[in-house]
Structure 1
Amino acid sequence: MTRDVRAAVFRPDDERIDEAVELLDSLGADPVPDPMLAVEPTGETPAPGDYVVMTSKTGVELVAEWGWEPGDATLVAIGERTARAMREAGWEVDLVPDEYSSAGLVRALEADVADARVEVARSDHGSDVLTDGLADAGAEVHETVLYRLVRPAGSGESAELAAGGELDAVIFTSSLTVEHFLDAAADRGVREEAVAGLDDAVVGVIGEPTRETAESHGVAVDVVPENASFEALATETVEEAAPSYRE
């Protein structure tokens, strides 16, 4: 017999959390949606550049709504989800790296950007791996913050469940979701208990930077999928947790 895996997920409170819940349902899990990210637009748009790098669907949708156009710039997307949003905005995508990460973007661009102006348009929590890597490759790098990521008021139900040993799995999609989860736990007075509760759950993270953040806060990580997509992360995390409930 199999008991549903109770899995907490922390995606933003928009279609992404809905898609996450739908996926977890399809995997036979019992989803606990607890959005840990909310988007606060800055109103800024990307500056001109020889290359314009977009790192999220959210950023694309915001600047498209504000009427921004890429002009003659080489347009780069961090992954296929971002690229689809660009195409839906009517833009031609010139490059999507094989690895959907900041490091993957650097590897895809480093041979071509010496002396080029590279505009990086993203949230206020973007990784220095991207900007430093492009600068090291000889690019003139400019960054525009399109939106800020904040913790929504009222978040933290999952932290209390973790503290009570009531979660089988947690799915962290960024370093910021880890930090906001722990902040929410602290606000509710259960940070130590929540971290202890995660020791008894399967903890899945989207990539190595998120693993490093989690482990720096005392959270042991069990799953880091080779393919840095939410579908792979959710699937592998639920599959890792599921055998505990088989008889």
Structure 2
Amino acid sequence: MVSLNITAPGRGGRLSIPNPQKLSSCNSTVPISILVTRSKNEIFLTGPHGKYSKNVPFIVKSQYLTPQEQLQQQQRFSSLESPSPFQNGQLPPRVYVGYTIYKGKAALAVDPRPPEFSPLDSGAFKLSKEGFILLQFAPTAGVRQYDWSRKQLFSLSVTEIGNIISLGTRDSCEFFHDPHKGRSEEGKVRKLLKVEPLPDGSGHFFNLSVQNKLINVDENIYIPITKAEFAVLVSSFNFILPYLLGWHTFANSTRPEDASRLNNANSTVDYEWNR
């Protein structure tokens, strides 16, 4: 790479600046070409807005940059053209979100949990576990105080989330969980979540019953959810559902040039529209 410095007159000629777009992104007055005259100390500059002349004393000196200087210059231009908020391989910070409803006898915290992926030999990733919505029920410990040390947990799967989203004003649903199903402790922990309409139609009850024989706990926590609060839950569930399925990672990783290759790899599939 050569750096040109113009400081005094020479024999004359034409000099072209390579890749003027990159330079002009930093300085809009950088010329695309320079015409050096044989007489007088005059040069003609051709830029994006036409030709103009300038009387300056000059000479042309060539200076070869070392590889290290070339790399530093490239990095400087790259940082000016496409700055990245996360450089040096740093990952974006972890973000925690949620929605909490406080009532007279209990509080309900709603938190999304991301899906999990497992690597394949090809270097790609495959969804190994769907995300879920974690419900945390905490009983009161006084006026506007809640005992989160006694909280009870219930995880909503994507299908259970779909059931809650589809509830009408007078509809209800219930879900039963046994965290130890298929293991030796099966039946020792029973969780039952009921979502039922309020008598006046102004919202829903969320009622969680937990029987845990392993630690001798029998808890029943219920909390009324108003129509507005339920609308917030439904809207949040609708938004987060594709992310819990991992579909956002597929959308972000798909490029136009990959579509044909992936479809050709599954050419044996009989598409509906090809019949």
TM-score scaled by length of structure 1: 0.24
Q: Higher Cα Rg: structure 1 or 2? A: 2
Structure ranking higher in helix proportion? 1
Name which structure has the greater RCO, CA cutoff 8 Å, separation 6+: 1
TM-score w.r.t. the length of structure 2 is 0.22
